[in-house]
Chains A and B, each alone.
Chain A
């Protein structure tokens, strides 16, 4: 077991807490950067999709995992990002401008939603976000001049400085680099006052206020950041699926995003990534499984959402901390072997909260 000897406050600020971090994350980076060399096109595509999901999940994590505002409408931000990006491309705006504008548009819509939403709490906010998602879906269907309505919309391949990206591995790198930058930004926020304010708002609004945290402002900023990240993921997703239609960004996608961060581990950046891998690869697995299963089961229309729902329920019952929580337990087991005690992570007695003001 590693015991850290701290001699400098910077040790608590910097990302790599000790040499182990440097080694393992460098290894991980090498692995993801070299992955296209080893994988065939099908799996590169699957991996690209997982990374896009991870980016969208990271966005949702900011608002749900860190700030505690459960949103069931994040597919709408993906839709806004995707359609804005695709529309701008048809107008001749280059990829490197169009993608940030798409993210920003999504962010601004998020901001407009957040201003009324920051006055709502809990279930009411969730329902409002659901309503928002449905409104956006309808908007996409009816605003035919921009979105193509139910006929859909073809997305041109991305072009960087006149160089058109056709190959799967090229696009994989574009997505990977943007995801890494986004993770770095989110990690920066988490070690800054704003990130701490978010956690404070999540755990106790009342005491956050008494410490001078502007609760509404914190929520609005969280929504802005979240919508921008998810919008960016939407823009990237547009190229990935190459054809946009309204049902792509339905309620199922919102649920899938929420499922990802819960299964991955709420409240951690790792959780968003783990969740994306689990759900993304599960999708691939289900499509393989469909061919193997007897047609009576394999062709059932509700197979995917049914399985997702089952997984969500199982995780909430057996491992509320998600895959990441499980991983932390496993790591502690290895580090402290053979002295690991089963009760290490058992929740301590929690003290009754009475007379809480709402």
Chain B
């Protein structure tokens, strides 16, 4: 039994097969990367894992349990957090509020007590705050703490979204193109953080990425996808040199 696996996953939109019979398995503590040209179905796989789309065929298993039919809001409780390709932060709130929202699944205070805000509620709130501060320290977000998202540059937003997912304290982290829109320096930082997330926090990472320098640096295993089908799997080097992958990016054999 693998830590996380998808089996014969398929999804069609009308006549288009976005994902076609894709399978892979990853182990705990791994950084597993999905690469592939635009429209290969990478984000669609993520959206099926997040239960935003229901697969037309196949199963998703996490720690042995079938989570294919779980509701979208149950996925975080199961232990899977994610970031989005086009940053989905709560723009009118501050960085601190965004990170605190990431603590939602760890909140067990009933609504009535939230309304009254009794001392127990206050203690719970301060405990969440401590956890959030750990993440703030980890990602060096301290001087953005009280800024509104709408006033922050793109690179910082990317970091905050990563931080918000970490506040969930997941076992598996889905990163949808963590380096898109980042400059080379920021990309390098992102690589260090992903390494730290894996080694220090013990969180497994499933990642979609185009930037091959980042893929080479952090991935334990890589899988290539084209037209919804898995075309290669192995180490970063193996996948990059695979003839089908070269053909997918550069066109058919000349």
Are A204 and B90 interface neighbours, CB within 8 A? yes
> Are A203 and B92 touching (Cβ within 8 A)?
yes
**A211 contacts B105, CB within 8 Å?**
yes
In the complex, which residues 303-358 of chain A have their Cβ closer than 8 Å to any Cβ of chain B? 347-348, 350-357
Bound-state Cα–Cα, A9 to B126, Å: 7
- Other-chain residue from A10, A210, A221 in contact with B111 (beta carbon distance below 8 A): A221
**Number of contacting residues on A, CB 8 A?**
41
Interface status of B100 (Cβ within 8 A of chain A): yes
Cα–Cα, bound, A356→B115 (Å): 33
Q: B50 touches which one: A185, A210, A352, A355 (CB < 8 A)?
A: A210
Interface residues of A in 205-249 (CB under 8 A from B): 206-215, 221
Q: Is the CB of A12 within 8 A of B129?
A: yes
With the chains together, A208 CA to B73 CA distance in Å? 8
Q: Does A194 contact B (CB under 8 A)?
A: yes
A348 touches B150 (CB 8 A): yes
Report which of B104, B111, B122 forms a contact with A13, defined as CB distance below 8 A: B122
Closest to A206 in B: B88
State whether A200 and B90 are in contact (beta carbons under 8 Å apart), knowing that A185-B115, A357-B47 are contacts in the complex: yes
Chain B residues whose C-beta falls within 8 Å of the C-beta of A209 in the assembled complex: 50, 52, 72-73
Once bound together, how far apart are the Cα atoms of A350 and B115, in whole Å? 34
B125 near A196: Cβ-Cβ < 8 Å: no
CA distance in complex: A356, B91 (Å): 15
Inter-chain contacts of B115 with A (CB < 8 A) = 185, 188-189, 192
What chain A residues lie within 8 Å of B133 (beta carbons)?
Answer: 9
Q: How many of B's residues come within 8 Å of A, CB to CB?
A: 50
Inter-chain contact B104/A212, CB cutoff 8 Å: yes
Are A203 and B91 in contact, CB atoms less than 8 angstroms apart?
Answer: yes
Complex contact A207–B88 (CB within 8 A): yes
Given A189-B115, A199-B93 in contact, is the A210-B109 Cβ separation under 8 Å?
no
Question: A193 contacts B93, CB within 8 Å?
Answer: no
Give Cα A10 to B164, complex, Å.
21
A276 to B47, CA, bound (A): 44
Using known A-B contacts A199-B92, A212-B73, determine if residue A351 contacts B107 with beta carbons closer than 8 Å. no
Residues of B within 8 A of A214 (CB): 73
Specify which of B43, B73, B116, B126 lies most central, judged by the most chain A CB atoms within 10 Å of its CB.
B73
Instruction: Identify A210's interface contact among B81, B103, B154, CB under 8 A.
Output: B81
Say if the beta carbon of B183 comes within 8 Å of chain A.
Answer: no
Residues of chain B contacted by A212 (CB below 8 angstroms):
73-77, 104-105, 168
Q: Which of A191, A195, A215, A267 has the most CB of B within 10 A?
A: A191
Contacts of A213 in B (CB 8 A): 73, 101, 104
CB < 8 Å: which of B47, B90, B121 contacts A199?
B90
Chain A residues within 8 Å of B82, by CB: 210
Measured CB to CB, the nearest residue on chain A to B167 is: A211
Alpha-carbon distance between A195 and B101 when the two chains are bound, in angstroms: 10
For the A-B complex, the count of residue pairs with Cβ-Cβ distances under 8 Å equals 124
State the majority secondary structure of interface residues on B: helix
Given known A9-B126, A9-B130, A203-B92, contact A211–B76 (CB-CB < 8 A)? yes
A48 touches B (CB below 8 Å) = no
Task: Report the separation of the CA atoms of residues A135 and B85 in the bound assembly, to the nearest whole angstrom.
Answer: 44
Give the distance to chain A from B130, nearest Cβ to Cβ, in Å.
7
- By beta carbon, the residue of chain B nearest A15 is B117
- Minimum Cβ distance to chain B for residue A237 (Å): 23
Q: Could you tell me if B100 and A196 are in contact, using CB atoms closer than 8 angstroms?
A: yes
Q: For residue B105, which residues in chain A have a CB less than 8 angstroms away from its CB?
A: 211-212
- Cβ–Cβ contact A211 & B85, under 8 A: no
Contacts of A202 in B (CB 8 A): 90, 92
The answer to the question of A256 belonging to the interface, with a C-beta cut-off of 8 Å to chain B, is no
A241 to chain B, nearest CB (A): 29
Would you call B109 and A353 a contact (CB within 8 A)? no
CB-based contact B104/A192 at 8 Å: no
Residues of chain B within 8 A (CB-CB) of A84 are none
Q: A12-B96, A188-B117, A213-B73 are in contact. Are A197 and B104 (CB under 8 A)?
A: yes
Query: Which residues of the partner chain B approach A350 to less than 8 Å between Cβ atoms?
Result: 91, 150
B111 touches A203 (CB 8 A): no
CA distance A355 to B18 in the complex (A): 15
Chain A residues, Cβ within 8 Å of B121:
192
Roughly how many angstroms separate A12 CA and B95 CA in the complex, as a whole number? 13
Show the binding face of A for B, using Cβ within 8 Å.
9-10, 12-13, 185, 188-189, 191-197, 199-200, 202-204, 206-215, 221, 267, 347-348, 350-357
20 interchain pairs, CB-CB under 8 A: A9-B126, A9-B129, A12-B129, A13-B126, A13-B129, A188-B115, A191-B125, A192-B125, A193-B107, A193-B109, A194-B111, A196-B100, A199-B90, A199-B92, A200-B93, A203-B91, A208-B101, A210-B75, A210-B88, A356-B86
Q: A189-B114, A207-B84, A214-B73 are in contact. List 20 more A-B contacts (CB 8 A).
A: A9-B129, A10-B122, A188-B116, A188-B117, A191-B117, A193-B109, A195-B114, A196-B93, A197-B104, A199-B93, A200-B101, A203-B91, A206-B84, A207-B88, A209-B73, A210-B50, A210-B81, A211-B76, A212-B168, A355-B86
